[in-house]
Amino acid sequence: GGGTISGSSCGTSGAQTTVNATIRVTSGTYDGGCQRFNAGSALGDGSQSEGQLPVFRVENGATLRNIVIGTNGADGIHTYNGAVLDNIYWMNVGEDAMTIKSSGTTTVRNIEGYDADDKFFQINAASTLNVSNCIIHRAGKVLRQNGGTTFQINVSVDRCDINDMGEGVFRTDSSSSTARLTNSRLHDAGTVCIGPWSSCTQSG
């Protein structure tokens, strides 16, 4: 695989802030200036318990930019009705890194994230996810369509460095969903396509 892969340009030494109530981004752009947002205990502990709250919730095509999610990631970032996530660094993914909660197109670019015990991207609604320029190291899998669901998702992942997956890259239970991996570097990434994908391809 080729292409330039640089992940996030936010380092991890920005000012720190504790988030005790989900920050909701409902329009325009929220620019975090590469500050480090640590989930407070009100959101969860970053373990594998379900029901934790997200640090950010991004809605209706709004943009979240220049964010570091610190050592408590809780339930990461949720998107509703589409969103743009640009230049995000997850120091230690919590229950998962990002969840699509309702339909729309979510664009994710220039990101990196570490230590997701299970899933990095969790997809809970019929939607489109386009990811480019990412570094994902140590996770169970890059993406999971919610178990037992058969709606259609369409996923593309371009220019990503995927290293040390416990299980694999893309997993679905839906025979109408599609996934495409291009121009990426894989190392110990497990099985690329898990489940009855309508189409699931790797190239470049």
Site residues for ligand ADA per CB under 6 A: 50, 95-96, 99, 122, 124, 146-147
Report H helices in 66-139: none
Shortest spacing between CB 201 and Ca ion, in angstroms: 26
Burial class (CB in 10 A: 0-12, 13-18, 19+), 203: exposed
- CB of 59: closest distance to ligand ADA in angstroms? 17
Task: Please state, in angstroms and rounded to a whole number, the distance separating the CA atoms of residues 204 and 197.
Answer: 20
Q: How far is the CB of 31 from ligand ADA (least distance, A)?
A: 27
Phi, psi angle pair for 152, to nearest 5°: -100, 130
Q: Measured from the CB atom, is 86 or 95 closer to ligand ADA? A: 95
CB of 146 to ligand ADA, least distance (A): 6
Radius of gyration over every alpha carbon of the chain, rounded to an integer in angstroms: 15
Partner whose binding site includes residue 92, from ligand ADA, Ca ion, none (CB under 5 to 8 Å by kind): Ca ion
Q: Which does 130 bind (CB under 5 to 8 A by kind): ligand ADA, Ca ion, none?
A: none
Of 110 and 174, which has the nearer Cβ to ligand ADA?
174
115 contributes a contact to Ca ion by CB under 5 A:
yes
Q: Which is nearer to Ca ion, 70 or 158 (CB)?
A: 70
* Residue 34 Cα to chain centre, angstroms: 17
Residue whose CB is less far from ligand ADA, 65 or 141:
141
The listed partner (ligand ADA, Ca ion, none) that binds 163, CB under 5 to 8 Å by sort, is none
| Closer of 34 and 100 to ligand ADA (Cβ) | 100
**Residue 120 region by backbone torsions, left for phi larger than 0, else alpha for psi between -120 and 50, else beta:** alpha
How many CA within 13 A on the CB side of residue 166? 11
Q: Which two tokens stand for residue 80?
A: 């509703």
